[in-house]
Amino acid sequence: MKNIFERKIYIQTEFEDRHIDALEDANIPYELVTKIEAIAWARLAYLVYSVILDCIVLGGILYLLFRG
């Protein structure tokens, strides 16, 4: 079974042709990965939204328990 907790270290930088040329000159394997920044922001917004709603629900439960 593949070790899912294996630590891997990646180097990530913004794309420029000179970086690719340097990697190819040094014979280092590389993989190009694209990201959409809006997706990262949407994930963060959803996390904040869910934490706020959880706090509101928990506060309502505590209010009902103590003031009920």
What is the spatial distance between Cα 65 and Cα 24, in angstroms, rounded to a whole number? 65
Predicted pLDDT of residue 8: 80
Structural domain of residue 37, as residue ranges?
17-67
Confirm whether 3 is domain-assigned: no
Backbone Cα Rg of the chain: 23
Write down the residue that tokens 């079974």 correspond to: 1
What is the tens place of the pLDDT at every residue in 18-45? 888 888 899 988 888 888 889 889 999 9
The average confidence (pLDDT) of the chain is 88
Residue 1 has pLDDT above 70, yes or no: no
Summarize the confidence of residues 5-13 as an average pLDDT.
80
Predicted pLDDT of residue 46: 97
Question: Which residue stretches of the chain are H helix?
Answer: 17-25, 37-67
Confirm whether 46 is domain-assigned: yes
Higher pLDDT, 57 or 37: 57
Kindly state the greatest CA–CA separation across the chain: 71
Confirm whether 2 is domain-assigned: no
Count structural domains, the chain: 1
Confirm whether 52 is domain-assigned: yes
Which among 13, 10, 9 has a CA at the least distance from the CA of 22?
Answer: 13
